[in-house]
Structure 1
Amino acid sequence: MTIASPVVAVPGQYWSWRGFKIYYVKAGGRAGESQTSRPALLLVHGFGASTDHWKKNIAGLQQEFEVYAIDLLGFGRSDKAETQYGGDLWADQLYDFIQEVIGKPTVIAGNSIGGYVALATTARFPEVAKGAILLNPAGGFSEDLQNRPQPTPLQKLMGTTFKTLLNQDWFSWFIFKYVQNKAFIRKTLKQVYVNQSEVTDELVEDIYRPSCDRGAAKVFALVFRAPKGESNDSLLQKLTQPLYLLWGEQDPWVGNARQRGAKFSKYYPEARQDFIPAGHCPHDDAPELVNQKIREWLLATF
């Protein structure tokens, strides 16, 4: 087991998007490097996380690449807007960010929900997104719904009741306060990390801190009430750019990672896939190995 060593986060700055403040970090990029053919790398966090979750990867990749990390609207240090959230909104955010801030072709790497957003952006906007790296991506497949067993009457009732409750502000606030607790955050992280030493007080604080922002509880409710986005298979059928899937194989949230990876291969057989001994957040669970894998794929592909 390796011992987690402290990494100093790169100071960030704000970008104005649709009247909202969006926080991002930039590192690397030697003078004149933006004129070369090598694309930039944009890192996108998962639910409840932020640019802080990528600090080990920024530190490990900035010597060779121009690296950006961004807080999606509603998360991290970005504004907690009262709006309709979902993959389309965040894909539009990344497209505009690449156009207005990065200003060059970009490979998008995302974890969990960030992986789904990376896929959606790359499929919709190939003119700016030159490829995607998905780390334990979220998002469903059409076949999942088709093959799902018919619920029993009791299951239907319970599902309808829970959805109704989630639409009640008092109930969503109660759930938010429960999961916001630092002890709950630490327990959850320990369940989804293989390298337990990476679950540090700093990591817990990085996730807890944005949840204290004004409007965070409302964002939590709005995200869960958001309509389902386009299925992964639909996005993959639109995709024309290089795709790399990097799986933490011991992720309890995605089920069998190899079976899930096979679904991506079914719709995009050109994709490269690797499986490593990590959990749901492989970039932070096994950062040195993930940095090596990302570096090798980028240099071989572009």
Structure 2
Amino acid sequence: MNLALNGQLQTIASGTGQLCFYVKGQGRPLILVHTINASASAAEVRPIFESLSQHRTVYAIDLPGYGFSERADRLYTPRLMTDAIHDLVQHVQAVHGSQAIDALAVSLSCEFLARAAAEQPTHFQTISLVSPTGFTGLKLRQAPEGQTYGLNWLLAFLKGPGWGLSLFNLLTRPKVIRYFLKKTWGSPNIDEEMYDYAVWTTQQPGAQHAPLSFLSAQLFSADITNIYDRLTQKVWMSHGTRGDFVDYRGKQRYAQTGNWRFTVYESGALPYFEMSDQFSAELLQFISPT
């Protein structure tokens, strides 16, 4: 079995299907949620998993459609991903007690974590958002609750005979995966271990299903500004200055709120790969009880 992380792989039966996650360490729980893309998996949070497991019990989820979690041919939506986080939280609280949990998510998955925290605020102590979506420009995303940017016609086209799988196979060729990782890093110096796992995981049965929902915008929430507005927990938002993900002008909406703090790293979109020691120290400080 090709594991993404050096931890114990566990599985639970949940309302979102077979849900897998990695566990390592001792102490108060910390949940990590990887990004959404064509080749996503828990491998994308490896530096945090390794570092913070020296201080905490760290849980790194494979979201539905990715890694070792169920990769069924179904519609993948913010509701499904948010419910998967709720399911993991329920499991973690059954193990550790009903204490509030610290959680971190990356990129588009920040929207799912934020929604989970808005829906069940007492379940979360702190929320860490790394390069979150929903902050590009000054546009407010305040559609009715639960509405997405999903293009149903595009999804239907992608699920037509051969089209979607052909596009997925094109996007997950090793050279293409490397190209997109370079854009994420804003540099050719990507993490080769993460690259190798990204290539491997896209070659597994059912790997195309969740990415097709992603490509047809089904996983992007049109109401996410309202969700971020509802967060009452301590929130730490961080991002880099290089690559494709550098426009976070929308964060000024929360600059004067007492529960949000911000850090900008001289890095790409995954600063914890390039500045692991600094990022881990700041994360540990943020989630430590005061």
Asked whether the equivalents of residues 141 and 233 of structure 1 are also in contact (C-alpha less than 8 Å), the reply is no
TM value normalised by structure 2: 0.82
Q: Distance in 2 between matches of 1:139 and 1:81?
A: 27
213, 219, 241: which one pairs with 1:222?
213
C-alpha distance 46-228 of structure 1, shift in aligned 2 (>3 A)? closer
* Structure 1 unaligned spans of 5+: 1-6, 34-38, 147-158
C-alpha distance 264-286 of structure 1, shift in aligned 2 (>3 A)? same
**Partner in structure 1 of residue 184 of structure 2:** 192
**Partner in structure 2 of residue 116 of structure 1:** 111
Q: CA deviation at 1:109?
A: 0.2
Structure 2 residue 270 is the aligned partner of structure 1 residue 281: yes
TM value normalised by structure 1: 0.79
Q: CA deviation at 1:40?
A: 1.9
Q: CA deviation at 1:69?
A: 0.6
Code of the residue aligned with 1:272 in structure 2: it is: R
**Partner in structure 2 of residue 241 of structure 1:** 233
Structure 2 residue 167 is the aligned partner of structure 1 residue 175: yes
Q: CA deviation at 1:284?
A: 2.4
Structure 2 residue 82 is the aligned partner of structure 1 residue 83: no
Structure 2 residue 264 is the aligned partner of structure 1 residue 294: no
**Which structure shows the higher helix fraction?**
1
**Partner in structure 2 of residue 153 of structure 1:** none
204, 212, 216: which one pairs with 2:203?
212
C-alpha distance 220-169 of structure 1, shift in aligned 2 (>3 A)? farther
C-alpha distance 8-20 of structure 1, shift in aligned 2 (>3 A)? closer
- CA root-mean-square deviation: 2.8
Asked whether the equivalents of residues 5 and 42 of structure 2 are also in contact (C-alpha less than 8 Å), the reply is no
Identity %: 18
**What secondary structure, in the 3-state scheme, does the structure 1 residue paired with 2:64 have?**
coil
* Structure 2 unaligned spans of 5+: 142-150
Q: Distance in 2 between matches of 1:8 and 1:216?
A: 19
**Partner in structure 2 of residue 135 of structure 1:** 130
- Matched residues, number: 271
**Partner in structure 1 of residue 7 of structure 2:** 10
Deviations, residues 73-111 of structure 1 (Å, cap 9, x unaligned): 001121102222122211111112111234342111000
Q: CA deviation at 1:189?
A: 1.0
249, 257, 262: which one pairs with 2:252?
262
**What secondary structure, in the 3-state scheme, does the structure 2 residue paired with 1:144 have?**
coil
Q: Distance in 2 between matches of 1:84 and 1:19?
A: 11
Code of the residue aligned with 1:233 in structure 2: it is: T
Structure 2 residue 11 is the aligned partner of structure 1 residue 21: no
**Partner in structure 2 of residue 64 of structure 1:** 55
Code of the residue aligned with 1:261 in structure 2: it is: K
C-alpha distance 242-250 of structure 1, shift in aligned 2 (>3 A)? same
Code of the residue aligned with 2:240 in structure 1: it is: G
Q: CA deviation at 1:182?
A: 0.8
**What secondary structure, in the 3-state scheme, does the structure 2 residue paired with 1:132 have?**
strand
